[in-house]
């Protein structure tokens, strides 16, 4: 039996990622809380409710779990609606609570990575047009200055905005997120305001703390042509890459956002990333529908032989993760994998997924690409946006009714990876035996590959 290990750099950050609205609970002043109360918005009529009760203090036990599992970092977010519950009205007690939480992470050896906007907005801003409102840029900068000035001694890694492309698609194209405009004409002004907001936040953070590291968590969705011989399918892959994956990061390089026929010039956006945050989950197949081309713009599907998660929500595509890392590397910045994971209540699929994706991550590290850390989504089952409580993404299982946590085997698997700073054949054999030969090919297969 082969005995080997894929080793990561000694300074590598290993952690999990969470988002405030999904774990804190009880924030009735956000647009997402209002959205959840509307019939038909959330699958099965679910609401976030108390979520994982972090705002009531259960972050303590969950951070203890992360620390005992040898994680050395944690990505979390602060909720704008808690800090500024009404326009220009600040709640310093909320700042104090976040300070206690972040200090608690540090005391447990967890380096905090803090996201300033993870999808949600204060309800007062939603009532003024959400991100279509031009004043949102000034208000976001003011909020960022408030948070960073209060927490800069504890936080050195900041993410301004999480997945702006998903935010735009969900809230302004597909009607899955608030404000539910479903108007493609809103994309250009929202894109412009998000770029300006990020740029203003970036410069403000560096003004307050010159040593801070600031970036964005970019969502990369892999696209493959259903029929590689089809000109239409190949064109659709390029179209989706350009207008979904490339839309935001390219604008941060050249200051020229470009969506369909719309173009703009935002010079202050150029060079406003100190690192590249990469979120990757899956790769889909796309096919051109010549009878109704607009159908082609909807999310694609997966092949019949795809290795699907229990609900069929995503396909296990580690090669797509490699392509995502290769794509991020072209921006010539240090890379943090800010989200990667899968839903899986039974946990077998998750362990295979984790092993295969970390193998691809090691390949990138082995090429001396500047991969600085990996944040698994997520620590404990939580409220998954428009899908409510129907999917389980946590290393720890949660019963949302009783708030009981139960450790899954993948938590132990990830713990061993964090503790040893490597992915070993012995670990894979114990936790993900089905993919052992894929990661550690028999000697004969290895010789054939050389």
The model's pLDDT over 300-335, given as tens digits with 9 standing for 90+, comes to 999 999 999 999 999 999 999 999 999 999 999 999
The CATH homologous superfamily to which domain 5-449 belongs is: Glycosidases (3.20.20.80)
Q: In sequence order, what are the beta bridge partners of 74? A: 16, 112
Report d(CA 333, CA 218) in Å as an integer: 13
Please, which pLDDT band fits residue 449 given cuts at 50, 70 and 90? Answer: very low
Residue 172 — pLDDT band, cuts 50, 70, 90?
Answer: very high
Minimum mean pLDDT among 40-54, 200-214, 283-297, 379-393: which range?
A: 283-297
- Across residues 16-28, what is the average pLDDT? 98
Distance of alpha carbon 111 from alpha carbon 105, whole angstroms = 7
E-only strand ranges, 27-130? 73-77, 111-115
Q: How confident is the model at residue 142 (pLDDT cuts 50, 70, 90)?
A: very high
pLDDT confidence of residue 450: 37
Band (pLDDT 50/70/90 cuts) for residue 444 is low
- What's residue 21's pLDDT? 98
* Tens digit of each residue's pLDDT (9 = 90 or more) over 337-353: 999 999 999 999 999 99
DSSP 86: B
> Among 274, 262, 283, 286, which Cα is nearest to 356's?
283
- CA-based nearest residue to 109, from 69, 161, 61: 69
In the prediction, which pLDDT does 409 show? 98
Instruction: Tell me the helix, strand and coil percentages in the chain, rounded to 5.
Output: 45, 20, 35
Strand 404-407 and strand 335-339: the pairing is unpaired
- In the block, tokens 């209540």 appear at 345
- What confidence tier does 447 reach under pLDDT thresholds 50, 70, 90? very low
pTM, two decimals, is: 0.97
In this predicted model, what pLDDT tens digit does every residue of 114-140 receive, in sequence order? 999 999 999 999 999 999 999 999 999
Q: What is the mean pLDDT of residues 175-185?
A: 96
Query: 403 and 53 in contact (C-beta within 8 Å)?
Result: yes
């Amino acid at each position: 039996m082969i005995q080997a290990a894929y080793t990561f750099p000694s300074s590598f950050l290993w952690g999990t990622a969470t988002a405030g609205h999904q774990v804190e609970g009880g924030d009735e002043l956000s647009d997402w809380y209002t959205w959840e109360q509307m019939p038909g918005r959330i699958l099965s009529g679910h609401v976030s409710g108390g979520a994982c009760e972090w705002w009531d203090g259960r972050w303590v036990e969950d951070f203890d779990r992360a620390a005992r599992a040898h994680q050395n970092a944690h990505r979390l977010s602060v909720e704008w609606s808690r800090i500024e519950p009404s326009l220009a009205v600040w709640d310093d007690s909320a700042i104090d609570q976040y300070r206690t939480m972040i200090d608690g992470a540090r005391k447990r050896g967890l380096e905090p990575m803090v996201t300033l906007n993870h999808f949600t907005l204060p309800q007062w801003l939603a009532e003024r047009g959400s991100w279509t409102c031009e004043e949102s840029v000034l208000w976001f900068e003011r909020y960022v200055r408030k948070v960073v000035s209060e927490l800069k001694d504890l936080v050195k890694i900041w993410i301004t905005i999480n997945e702006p492309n998903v935010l735009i698609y969900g809230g302004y194209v597909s009607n899955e997120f608030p404000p539910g405009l479903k108007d493609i004409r809103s994309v250009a002004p929202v894109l412009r305001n998000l770029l300006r907001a990020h740029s203003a936040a970036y410069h403000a953070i560096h003004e307050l703390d010159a040593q801070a590291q600031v970036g964005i968590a970019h969502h990369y969705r892999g696209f493959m042509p259903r029929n590689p011989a089809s000109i239409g399918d190949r064109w659709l892959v390029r179209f989706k890459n350009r207008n979904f994956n490339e839309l935001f990061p390219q604008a941060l390089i050249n200051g020229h956002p470009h969506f369909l026929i719309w173009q703009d010039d935002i010079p202050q956006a150029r060079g406003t990333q100190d690192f590249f945050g990469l979120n990757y989950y899956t790769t889909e197949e796309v096919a051109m529908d010549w009878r109704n081309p607009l159908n082609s713009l909807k999310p694609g599907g997966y092949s019949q032989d795809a290795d699907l998660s229990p609900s069929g929500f995503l396909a296990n595509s580690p090669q797509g993760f490699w392509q995502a890392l290769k794509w991020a590397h072209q921006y010539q910045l240090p890379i943090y994998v800010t989200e990667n994971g899968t839903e899986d209540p039974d946990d077998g699929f998750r362990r295979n997924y984790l092993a295969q994706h970390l193998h691809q991550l090691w390949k990138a590290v082995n090429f001396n690409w500047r991969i600085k850390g990996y944040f698994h989504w997520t620590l404990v089952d939580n409220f998954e946006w428009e899908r409510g409580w129907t999917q389980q993404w946590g290393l720890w299982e949660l019963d949302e009714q009783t708030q009981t946590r139960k450790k899954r085997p993948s938590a132990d698997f990830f713990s061993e990876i964090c503790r040893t700073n490597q992915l070993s054949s012995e670990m894979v054999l114990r936790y993900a035996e089905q993919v052992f030969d894929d990661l550690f090919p028999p000697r004969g297969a290895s010789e054939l590959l050389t």
